[in-house]
Amino acid sequence: DQQVKQNSPSLSVQEGRISILNCDYTNSMFDYFLWYKKYPAEGPTFLISISSIKDKNEDGRFTVFLNKSAKHLSLHIVPSQPGDSAVYFCAAIHGSGNTGKLIFGQGTTLQVKP
C-alpha cells in the first residue's frame, strides 16, 4: 500500500526554466509534508516543508504547493539550475503520535540541462 506516490520517475528541463515535481498521497491523517533532495552516494538532504494548515510555502527558488482536497502537493523550482539535478523525494508525516516516522514516495530524478 503506497501511501505517498511520485508517479513520474524522471523529469528533464532546460536550465532557467521551471521544474515541477508532483506527489500524491492517500492518507488524510498526514499533516506535514516535506521534500528531500538526494545526490548519488549521499544521504537525502531536507529541502522544504509545508504544514497541512497552509497551501503554499516558499524558500528562495523553491516553492511547495499543497492541495488537500486533491491530496496532492508539488515542488516548483524556478529558475532551474544544473546543480539541481538530483533525485527528489516527497515525504509525509502523521500528525498524531509525533513519531517523526516519514513515509516517502519513490522519488523523481530531475535532470537540468545546461
Partner 1 sequence: GAGVSQSPSNKVTEKGKDVELRCDPISGHTALYWYRQSLGQGLEFLIYFQGNSAPDKSGLPSDRFSAERTGGSVSTLTIQRTQQEDSAVYLCASSGRTTFHTQYFGPGTRLTVL
Give the interface segment with partner 1, choosing from 12-20, 40-48, 53-61, 71-79 (CB under 8 A): 40-48
- Please, what is the minimum distance in Å from the beta carbon of residue 44 to partner 1? 5
| Rounded Cα distance, 104 and 14, in Å | 27
- Per rule CB under 8 A, is residue 98 in the interface with partner 1? yes
Question: Which one of residues 32, 52, 65, 111 is an interface residue with partner 1 (CB under 8 A)?
Answer: 32
Question: Which one of residues 66, 93, 110, 112 is an interface residue with partner 1 (CB under 8 A)?
Answer: 93
- Per rule CB under 8 A, is residue 64 in the interface with partner 1? no
Give the CA distances from residue 47 to residues 2, 23, 98, 110, in Å, rounded to whole numbers and listed in that order: 22, 15, 20, 14
| Rounded Cα distance, 105 and 13, in Å | 21
- Per rule CB under 8 A, is residue 99 in the interface with partner 1? yes
The grid cell for 22 is 508532483
